[in-house]
Chains A and B, each alone.
Chain A
């Protein structure tokens, strides 16, 4: 497993798209700080902490790009056969892709947050209210968002294994992630929408105190369901 993850990062660190993301995402974080400085509620570092959860929408939105780096291109270029024909278990292969996706997402989150807070710290006055409570509140949300992100990774990888084509998987992911809520309301099933991943992201970025237990439970169930689904599909799939 570790070998597969090591190889994954060997590959990703040579991928031009990875470096584009590596540059673009911190720039977006800096842009957010600049907007905050110029805005009406011209920021203090305290303000930056309060705005920080908004950044949690990034990873889920970027997931199809990240899963494209890990599993998508392997399916598209049919290079997955090079791994399977060596006798590497398909389950091990999938789990390595899942872990790599999550690690890559965490790497981007760390990068974005470091850039964001560093820029904010350098360009904003400290403000009132900076303390352990604010730090705990902010990073509890970031921690819970990691669980949502892991569940969304499982969803994105599941769509790739089912649909094969990255482009279809990307569109379907955005459709499922952002429009299921709307669809449920149309069919008068609005009460089900509280179990959606997009609802959990909204809860984490909102002003109200999120229900962390519920968010973690929904994320865990979604994660398990889509992982099992992906493994079943991948086990039966003809490759190459």
Chain B
């Protein structure tokens, strides 16, 4: 029944003359790790704020867990853990006291849930150190601890790895993957560090100037970004027939004397050896492909159709 956990319909957010989010429709399915990708000012944070009830849409509809009435949305928010923008806590309280304050306020869990959340993010040994004296990485971790404290079913994370060192980023990635795998937590995450997102995301939403340019699954993206192999031969017709005969799944086209192979299972060396063994001369081999970053840039520059 709750296959789609988040659904927005033509959501707009205007700040005077500036339209931060424009007619945006996204859908996040249960169990997904949905990466929201966009440049600074693309509207990612505004969208996440609206999903968390921190900002109100100018128009359009937000549905969380099938609920779209104000009361229903508030009820749904209790099932969501969020970290939008920089984590904010009271500077004179310790990590434990900050979480305990919010636990009492929310009426959720028991005292042990605070310790569990701190343990989960590796902040269990901070003692009485005040939040104001935390490093940026520690602050991020505490934000994550709050988001996971209530054993949430959906995590909304806005730039969560900002300020983390490489070790922290890896630990963070492990936490996200563990939550998704073990607790089936759905995760909606935005980040500038695309390389990091590409290691965890199952779905991607590319957003620019407040509009969703494309929603694509990780499998589709891999397919589109997959490297293409170009082999220059002396007889492209015979070479293509040979390779198609030898490899059923190969996707191959040619232009002039150049073979363009977009799907292949074998090592390049295997293909070239087969060609040469059949007296087809190979004069050049090159591989071209795209990473997530290149794909994103290609997309916002209007190259989606060619991606």
Chain B residues at the A interface, C-beta cutoff of 8 Å: 49, 52-56, 73-78, 80, 82, 84-85, 88-93, 97, 100-102, 104-107, 146, 150
Contact = CB atoms under 8 A, between A and B. Distances in A.
A12 to B, nearest CB: 10
A11 B93 contact: yes
A11 B90 contact: yes
Interface residues of A, number: 26
A239 B101 contact: no
A238 B49 contact: yes
A217 interface: no
Interface in A4-49: 4, 6-7, 10-11, 14-16
Contacts of A79: 88-90
Contacts of B76: 87
Nearest to B49: A240
A89 B146 CA distance: 19
Among B77, B88, B89, B97, which residue has the most Cβ atoms of chain A within 10 A? Answer: B88
Given A87-B74, A240-B84, 4 more contacts: A10-B100, A11-B90, A84-B54, A239-B49
24 contacts: A3-B105, A7-B101, A7-B102, A10-B100, A10-B101, A11-B90, A11-B101, A14-B97, A15-B92, A16-B92, A77-B88, A77-B90, A84-B52, A85-B52, A85-B80, A86-B105, A87-B53, A87-B74, A88-B74, A89-B74, A236-B56, A239-B49, A240-B49, A240-B84
A77 B131 CA distance: 12
Given A84-B54, A85-B77, A87-B76, A73 B90 contact: yes
A78 interface: yes
A77 B89 contact: yes
Nearest to A4: B105
A89 to B, nearest CB: 6
B88 A86 contact: no
Contact of B91 (A4, A77, A236): A77
Contacts of B56: 236, 238
